[in-house]
């Protein structure tokens, strides 16, 4: 974390030396110039050709080094994201880290029955409401993928529901440029026009290239829509090392970086200076079960390297943490959430998504968000470090108290205990008898209870009736327009 004061110490972790960053950067440039990427979009191919790329066949694009480096420079080094009211909420820059949810979990634990079932729109609303309440969750996303709305409106309905249940910045996916345009219109309604939205964006779109080394037509259309409209966009591959990327971490990092940087080139050529968040994620394929593993240590290492690279590039960087492969709220989930959230905090990833994920990116649980909020709070405390100026060394107080005294009743303790010691919100700190009196509850049970409380008591800031009516009208029109739509890959 940036302290701004010399007397503040704070932990920061760097994996790569400057020479190692250069080695990976050169390998990435070599890959882009000699192998290239497939681009399944004729206009984009033409754009790349006229910018100086070599085109092999119809769609293999080899990008010269200078062009990649020019586009790295033209991508903004900082992006400010606002909340629904237009107030500054996140500064994606330097080593500042912000945490929030991911999208599209197909199954959710039902808080009433405790059972795992297909996700519903109500789960999107619940997740947004819980995240709106939790002060350490910085941005929201759909979390669940609703199965009880028309397929072509899944992302539109999710977006609308999130607007209705939280004021926080909103990270979102879309099926194609068509529903993305509808979502953009909805967001503009909230900010009083899309011009205001461009100046004070409260949303970040997420689209992705396909590993290895391919940009699909659908992905490029979404990327271009964001570039044209100044919508901040995360355009980052999700690799599976050993399957869609090399099994060696250095190889996968090179491939992922080439996919991400070729995305930066496409985006910056389309609209120089438009806001983009880059980077890559790398899960592993489990060679026994063929499952896609999020909670592995290799993901942490690849992401640490990614953070070092994108700090060097001065491009806001995407992180992933708080994602577990466990299917339920258990010790494995706690381990994988905590280890990953702490590592991302220490590497200084800027936009860390996927908190509260279970089951390899397929399962959500409202209580998982409450638990991750608590872990993030812990991580933020660690990353903040501590002050070592004279007042904090407290020589005067120590002198006054002297040997065999006590510090509890000093003014110094009163002044500093709230900042210096982390204030747990949910973590069990009872003495044994109190814990038994209160029902001997595990952390998972406490979090579930807290989630239920939040959902029955928290009232998010509502939208105005006028905005609410406009959103419903846009939704109704989209239902007609997109009824027979087949989204492109």
Closest CA to 254 of 277, 233, 237: 237
CA dist., res. 100 & res. 103, Å (int): 10
Q: How far is the CB of 144 from another protein (least distance, A)?
A: 11
Q: How far is the CB of 288 from another protein (least distance, A)?
A: 6
Q: Which of 1, 39, 89, 145 binds another protein (CB under 8 A)?
A: 145
Question: If binding is defined by CB under 8 A, does position 121 make contact with another protein?
Answer: no
CA dist., res. 283 & res. 294, Å (int): 5
Phi–psi pair at 459, nearest 5 degrees: -115, 100
**Half-sphere exposure of residue 236: CA atoms within 13 angstroms, side-chain side:** 27
Give the pair of three-digit tokens for residue 51: 């910018």
Q: Which is nearer to another protein, 285 or 454 (CB)?
A: 285
Phi–psi pair at 396, nearest 5 degrees: -60, -50
Q: How far is the CB of 104 from another protein (least distance, A)?
A: 6
CA 243 to chain centre: 24
Q: Which of 12, 27, 106, 401 binds another protein (CB under 8 A)?
A: 106
Strands (DSSP E) contained in 262-337 are 276-277, 281-285, 292-293, 318-320
- The full 3-state SS of 44-87, as one line of letters, equals HHHHHHHCCCEEECCCEEECCHHHHHHHHHHCCCCEEEECCCCC
Could you say which residues in the range 232-251 bind another protein, by CB under 8 A? Answer: 240, 242-244
Q: How far is the CB of 43 from another protein (least distance, A)?
A: 19
Strand 54-56, strand 60-62: pairing: antiparallel
Q: Which of 154, 226, 463, 467 binds another protein (CB under 8 A)?
A: 154
Q: Which is nearer to another protein, 105 or 269 (CB)?
A: 105
Could you say which residues in the range 206-225 bind another protein, by CB under 8 A? Answer: 210, 214, 216, 218
Neighbours of 308 (CB within 10 A): 22
Q: Do 28 and 34 meet the contact criterion of CB atoms below 8 Å apart? A: no
Q: Which is nearer to another protein, 399 or 486 (CB)?
A: 486
Question: If binding is defined by CB under 8 A, does position 268 make contact with another protein?
Answer: no
Q: Which is nearer to another protein, 145 or 367 (CB)?
A: 145
Q: Which is nearer to another protein, 173 or 229 (CB)?
A: 173
Q: Which is nearer to another protein, 103 or 448 (CB)?
A: 103
Question: If binding is defined by CB under 8 A, does position 151 make contact with another protein?
Answer: yes
Give the pair of three-digit tokens for residue 84: 């629904």
**245 CB burial (10 A radius; 0-12, 13-18, 19+):** buried
Q: Which is nearer to another protein, 141 or 447 (CB)?
A: 141
Q: How far is the CB of 279 from another protein (least distance, A)?
A: 21
Which segment (223-231, 318-326, 391-399, 481-489) binds another protein by CB under 8 A? 481-489
Strand 386-387, strand 8-9: pairing: antiparallel
Q: Which is nearer to another protein, 25 or 107 (CB)?
A: 107
Counting residues that bind another protein (by CB under 8 A) gives 30
CA dist., res. 72 & res. 265, Å (int): 8
Residue span 335-374 as binding mask against another protein, x where in contact by CB under 8 A, dash where not: -------------------------xxx------------
Question: If binding is defined by CB under 8 A, does position 487 make contact with another protein?
Answer: yes
Residue 212 preceded by cis peptide, ω within 30: yes
Give the pair of three-digit tokens for residue 402: 């002297």
Question: If binding is defined by CB under 8 A, does position 118 make contact with another protein?
Answer: yes
Give 105's strand partners. Answer: 144
Q: Which is nearer to another protein, 169 or 246 (CB)?
A: 246
Q: How far is the CB of 244 from another protein (least distance, A)?
A: 6
Q: Which is nearer to another protein, 69 or 479 (CB)?
A: 479
Question: If binding is defined by CB under 8 A, does position 483 make contact with another protein?
Answer: no
Q: Which of 107, 184, 221, 450 binds another protein (CB under 8 A)?
A: 107
CA dist., res. 203 & res. 105, Å (int): 19
Burial 154-189 (b: 16+ CB within 10 A, else e): bbbbbbbbbbbbbbbbbbbbbbbbbbbebbbbbbbb
Q: Which is nearer to another protein, 319 or 361 (CB)?
A: 361
Closest CA to 283 of 222, 202, 362, 195: 362
Q: Which is nearer to another protein, 28 or 158 (CB)?
A: 158
CA dist., res. 474 & res. 472, Å (int): 5
Q: Which of 175, 264, 349, 369 binds another protein (CB under 8 A)?
A: 175
CA dist., res. 339 & res. 322, Å (int): 8
Q: How far is the CB of 223 from another protein (least distance, A)?
A: 16
CA dist., res. 201 & res. 84, Å (int): 9
Question: If binding is defined by CB under 8 A, does position 424 make contact with another protein?
Answer: no
Could you say which residues in the range 280-299 bind another protein, by CB under 8 A? Answer: 285, 287-292
Question: If binding is defined by CB under 8 A, does position 488 make contact with another protein?
Answer: yes
Question: If binding is defined by CB under 8 A, does position 302 make contact with another protein?
Answer: no
Q: DSSP code of 6?
A: T
* Residues at the interface with another protein (CB under 8 A): 104, 106-107, 118, 145, 151, 154, 175, 210, 214, 216, 218, 240, 242-244, 285, 287-292, 360-362, 486-489
């Amino acid at each position: 974390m940036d302290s701004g004061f010399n007397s503040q110490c704070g932990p920061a972790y760097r994996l790569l030396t400057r020479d190692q960053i250069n080695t990976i950067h050169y390998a990435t440039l070599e890959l882009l110039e000699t192998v290239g990427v497939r681009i399944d979009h004729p206009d984009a191919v033409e754009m790349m050709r006229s910018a100086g790329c070599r085109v092999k066949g119809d769609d293999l694009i080899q990008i010269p080094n200078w062009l990649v480096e020019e586009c790295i420079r033209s991508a903004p080094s900082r992006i400010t994201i606002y909340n629904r009211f237009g107030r500054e909420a996140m500064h994606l820059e330097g080593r500042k880290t912000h945490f929030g949810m991911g999208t599209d979990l197909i199954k959710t634990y039902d808080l009433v029955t405790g059972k795992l079932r297909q996700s519903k729109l109500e789960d999107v609303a619940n997740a947004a409401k819980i995240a709106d309440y939790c002060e350490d969750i910085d941005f929201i996303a759909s979390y669940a993928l609703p199965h009880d709305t028309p397929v072509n409106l899944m992302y539109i309905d999710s977006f609308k529901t999130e607007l209705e249940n939280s004021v926080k910045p909103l990270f979102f996916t879309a099926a194609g440029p068509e529903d993305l345009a509808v979502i953009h219109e909805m967001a503009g309604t909230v900010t009083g026009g899309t011009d205001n939205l461009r100046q004070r964006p409260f949303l970040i779109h997420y689209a992705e290239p396909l590993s290895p080394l391919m940009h699909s037509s659908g992905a490029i259309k979404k990327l271009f829509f964001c570039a044209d409209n100044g919508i901040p966009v995360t355009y980052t591959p999700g690799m599976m090392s050993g399957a869609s990327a090399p099994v060696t971490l250095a190889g996968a990092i090179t491939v992922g970086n080439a996919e991400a940087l070729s995305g930066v080139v496409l985006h910056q050529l389309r609209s120089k200076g438009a806001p983009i968040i880059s980077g890559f994620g790398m899960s592993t394929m489990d060679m026994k079960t063929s499952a896609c593993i999020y909670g592995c240590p290799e993901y942490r290492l690849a992401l640490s390297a990614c953070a070092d690279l994108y700090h060097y590039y001065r491009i806001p960087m995407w992180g992933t943490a708080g994602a577990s492969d466990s299917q339920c709220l258990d010790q494995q989930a706690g381990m994988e959430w905590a280890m990953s959230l702490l590592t991302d905090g220490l590497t200084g990833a800027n936009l860390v998504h996927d908190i509260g994920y279970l089951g390899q990116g397929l399962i959500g649980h409202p209580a998982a968000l409450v638990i991750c909020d608590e872990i993030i709070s812990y991580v933020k405390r660690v990353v903040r470090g501590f002050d070592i100026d004279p007042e904090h060394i407290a020589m005067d107080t120590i002198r006054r108290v002297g040997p065999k005294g006590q510090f509890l009743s000093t003014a110094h303790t009163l002044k500093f205990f709230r900042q210096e010691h982390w204030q747990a919100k949910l973590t069990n700190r009872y003495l044994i008898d109190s814990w038994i009196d209160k029902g001997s509850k595990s952390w998972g049970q406490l979090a579930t209870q807290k989630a239920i409380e939040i959902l029955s008591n928290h009232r998010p800031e509502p939208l105005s009736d006028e905005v609410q009516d406009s959103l419903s009208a846009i939704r109704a029109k989209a239902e007609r327009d997109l009824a027979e739509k087949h989204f492109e890959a």
